[in-house]
Amino acid sequence: PLGYGFMWRGLLASLMVGVICSTLGTYVILQGMAFFGDALSHAILPGVVLAYLMGWPLAVGALIVGVLTALGIGALSQRGEVREDTAIGIIFAGSFALGVAMLSTVRSYAVDLAHILFGDVLGVSTSDLWTIFGLGTLVLLTIILLYKELLVLAFDPTLAVVLRLPAKFLRYLLLVLIAVTIVVSLQTVGVALMLAMLVTPAAAAQLLTRRLPTMMVTAATIGAL
């Protein structure tokens, strides 16, 4: 099978997505944000459909709506009037419903957009690979550069405030990173399997390790496998 170019592209995309999702997934697990990841992966559907209707690259629409949704959930929950899980549920249901309604206006939906829901790993193009590599590298570099700050925020939010770390900014940044990671993974695993890639390898690594760097490496290895 590896004699075919599309198999190599699919394999490389899967490996990169496995590493990126699993590494960021450690923070998703530690901060109890699994529901957020699931909701956000579904909430970007309107952006994908809008990009398709406008003739834009699908990743552009998904990225714009994903970031806006992440910031919207953060803003709603920060106000204190609505709990975070409630805010997530409201935006998740509303956005996904809007996406499905928009999807019904596309006559060729079955051919063109079904892979957004379920992924199309064998349809990964060279440009898709470069997009995954570029955005994925950005996510991983951000995690590395802000490792200490995100570590404190994950394990002791009160200490983060005492140390005068920009806790709110870091929280929003983490939400945006999750949105970017979901967009990166759309072509390979689709909306339906996104939560599995974000949560399962990191959850398994948490059972096997006791230190965050080791947990990240273990999660990335499991995700790649």
- For residue range 121-178, what is the model confidence (pLDDT) as tens digits? 999 999 999 999 999 999 999 999 999 999 999 999 899 989 999 998 999 999 899 9
Listed in sequence order, the residues at least 6 apart from 147 whose beta carbon sits closer than 8 Å to its beta carbon are: none
DSSP 45-99: HHHHHHHHHHT--HHHHHHHHHHHHHHHHHHHHHTSSS-HHHHHHHHHHHHHHHH
Candidate from 98-102, 113-117, 169-173 with smallest mean pLDDT: 113-117
- This prediction has a pTM of 0.89
Predicted confidence (pLDDT) per residue in 35-75, tens digit: 888 888 888 888 988 888 888 888 889 899 999 988 888 88
**56 or 216, which is more confident:** 216
Measure the CA–CA gap between 10 and 126, rounded to whole angstroms: 10
Q: How many residues does the chain have?
A: 225
Look at residue 110 and tell me whether its pLDDT is greater than 80.
Answer: no
pLDDT over threshold 60, residue 14: yes
